[in-house]
Amino acid sequence: MLAFIIPTNIIFLIMRVLWFSVTPSLFNPHSNAHNGGGWIASLEQIVRTVPDIQLGIAFEFSDLGFRYEKDGVAYYPIQYRKEAVLQKLLKRDVVDTEKTSVYLKIIKDFKPDLIQIFGSENDFGLICERTDIPVIIHMQGCIPPYHNALFPVGMNSWDFLFSGGLTLRWRLIGLRSESGFRRRAEKEIHTIQSCRYFMGRTEWDQNLIELFHPDATYFHCEEALRNSFLNKGKVWQLNTSSKVTIVSVISNPWYKGQDLILKTAQLLKRFTQLDFEWRVYGIQNIRFYESKYKIKAKEVNVRIMGTASKDELVDALCDATCYVHPSYIDNSPNSLCEAQLLGVPVLATHIGGISSLVVDGETGLLFPANAPYTLASLIKKLSRDKSLCERLSKNAREQALFRHNPEAIRSSLVSIYKEIIKDNRK
């Protein structure tokens, strides 16, 4: 019998990798809940092309089944028991224990070599102290700095009681958001301090890990974007029309800049002669901010578009004059990256991880948070300076194509997985 000596520093074994995510990824790929689906599904498509990775995904989903096999991936829907708000507050420790028990049951069934958690702000981080299997947290947002920027200037929890435009449910959410974010911030810091490995993509999230857990190991890996923005073939072209179309894609949290859109649009309406329309995707209405700031969206040419499909967003962005990201805090918003990938000239607040995505004056224009006067001026400038639009478009698209290259992301991810597994087999 022939004997073959295999070097110990080479890994040929199948890597069993278990993800924990709040979204169902490709288990339910047709969801439009997040404007046409999420980037985690795009990352799953990339990982599926790696022959030596066996992937399992545990995710929040209303399904009673424990495990499903589909296209070579093991899916574990996690259905939480619905309880009243008061019950959750009184039984918080019990709920955490129940959740951890479910997570450990999934881990026992899948038997992973590595666990990847998407988001340090989620309850999945509870498992970091309960398993000897290496865990890497894929940074998304981060609640402590989000808590610091929770409300726009001049706004506080009491506004949810006295301002109009909100249902009773959203009034209660708003009233509890300050205390809720404070509690979640402390919980997330504990999660970060209990985990050894982290993956991120901006200077901002790396700085946060170094602050909260200086002994942790941080890996850089770029974000996967949706195929519609990579492969559809449609890109932004300079529009010679005199009509200025501004596009923003945001979500409901108070720190996403809905107020900044209304304030800036009001300034454009009052102080410029621009024929403009500001199309806002991702939210269903803006009535609370209209009530709080006494600005009616229709009167300042702001149009709420609601949730859109991937293809609808591609078309909307390619028809826009510019894309505006108005958030008060963010890490690396995919909506901004997708706009850059299509070559849309972007304007974004200089906060969080944005400076890792936008080089001011080269791949976009940056402005301070809560600066409607500056933003109005920049929109006016961009609408008149066609050469600036074309330069920003060209540079941003080149950078985004390089940054979000699926093959490069695949290579980085596999290398990170192998390094962590090897490190824990010593």
pLDDT tens column, 164-220: 777 777 777 777 778 888 999 999 999 999 999 999 999 999 999 999 999 999 999
Rounded to an integer, what distance in angstroms lies between the CA atom of residue 130 and that of residue 119?
18
pLDDT tens column, 49-86: 999 999 999 999 888 899 999 999 999 999 865 554 44
Domain co-membership, 93 together with 181: yes
3-state secondary structure of 279: strand
Question: Pick the residue with more confidence: 226 or 403?
Answer: 403
Contact by Cβ (8 Å): 47, 413? yes
pLDDT of residue 28: 80
pLDDT of residue 132: 96
Question: Pick the residue with more confidence: 197 or 39?
Answer: 197
**3 found inside a domain:** no
Domain co-membership, 54 together with 175: yes
pTM: 0.90
Domain co-membership, 316 together with 168: no
HSE-up (13 A, CA, CB side) for residue 412:
18
Domain co-membership, 292 together with 234: yes
Domain co-membership, 264 together with 125: no
**4 found inside a domain:** no
**169 found inside a domain:** yes
Domain co-membership, 24 together with 165: yes
**1 found inside a domain:** no
Residue % of the chain over a pLDDT of 90: 76
Q: Evaluate if residue 44 carries a pLDDT over 60.
A: yes
pLDDT of residue 425: 83
Domain co-membership, 384 together with 299: yes
Which of 70-79, 147-156, 300-309, 366-375 is the least confident region?
Answer: 147-156
Domain co-membership, 234 together with 216: no
Contact by Cβ (8 Å): 236, 323? no
**6 found inside a domain:** no
**What is the count of structural domains for the chain?**
2
Contact by Cβ (8 Å): 337, 360? no
3-state secondary structure of 65: coil
Domain co-membership, 410 together with 282: no
What does the DSSP 8-state code read for residue 33? T
- The DSSP secondary structure of 225-239, one letter per residue, reads --HHHHHS-------
Q: Chain-wide mean pLDDT for the chain?
A: 90
Domain co-membership, 198 together with 236: no
3-state secondary structure of 32: coil
Mean pLDDT within 289-311: 96
* Confidence at 232, pLDDT banded by 50, 70, 90: low
Residue % of the chain over a pLDDT of 70: 90
CATH number for the domain harbouring residue 35:
3.40.50.2000
**353 found inside a domain:** yes
pLDDT of residue 81: 58
**9 found inside a domain:** no
Domain co-membership, 211 together with 103: yes
**10 found inside a domain:** no
Which of 31-40, 133-142, 163-172, 290-299 is the least confident region?
Answer: 31-40
Could you tell me the residue range of the domain that residue 337 belongs to?
Answer: 227-404
pLDDT of residue 38: 81
Domain co-membership, 316 together with 348: yes
